[in-house]
Amino acid sequence: MNQKKDKNINVFEYRPVRPFLQIPEKVLMYILQLTPSSFAKVYLYLYNISYGMGHDYTITHTSVREIASNLNISIGRTQNAITYFKKIGAIEKIESRAVIGTKFRVNVPEYSSNSGNWFFTTPDKVRYLMMKEKLLTSEKIVTSKIKRYKSVKKSLDQQLFDEFKE
């Protein structure tokens, strides 16, 4: 931990450690006003398993029972939250399987100062979320752009993407 001394006062600097999820202020402001508070827990859970993994949809199938169990809230309250978020457009069902559960597209809140209300939109229409650019190669390998190297060829010369060999 970094420690700075200033006039005999210890000042600490804190940095997050993995895993760490950043929640935009607009998302936080929206969920803090939700009643009942269990609705906020459900939205944050869905936000975590989507945007926390870098996607605008839940990366795994999930069910009402699973969400309720993980959040320690009742199944009925969880079902009410899911129904509410579907109704206002916060989540959309994109795939459903009988045994494993449902995948949801998770939209993000935006405040309209004209109407004084919150509405939900896709992440590409808001300024407070940044999209990380990724490249999908022909071998179906996802590699992030590395800005400190002038080209992907140079980074390959550095052997950053070599497979582990025993």
Ordered by start, the domain boundaries in the chain are 25-130, 132-161
pLDDT band at 150 (very low <50, low <70, confident <90, very high): very low
Alpha carbon distance 46, 103 (integer Å):
10
pLDDT band at 162 (very low <50, low <70, confident <90, very high): low
What number is the average pLDDT over the span 57-85?
A: 95
Q: How far apart are the first and last CA of the chain?
A: 36
Asked which of 16-30, 54-68, 151-165 is least confident by mean pLDDT, the reply is 151-165
Q: Hey, what are 78's tokens? A: 């969880």
pLDDT band at 140 (very low <50, low <70, confident <90, very high): very low
**Burial class for 155, CB neighbours closer than 10 Å (0-12, 13-18, 19+):** middle
**25-130 has CATH 1.10.10.10 classification:** yes
Asked which of 5-14, 17-26, 107-116 is least confident by mean pLDDT, the reply is 5-14
Average pLDDT, the chain: 80
% pLDDT > 70, the chain = 73
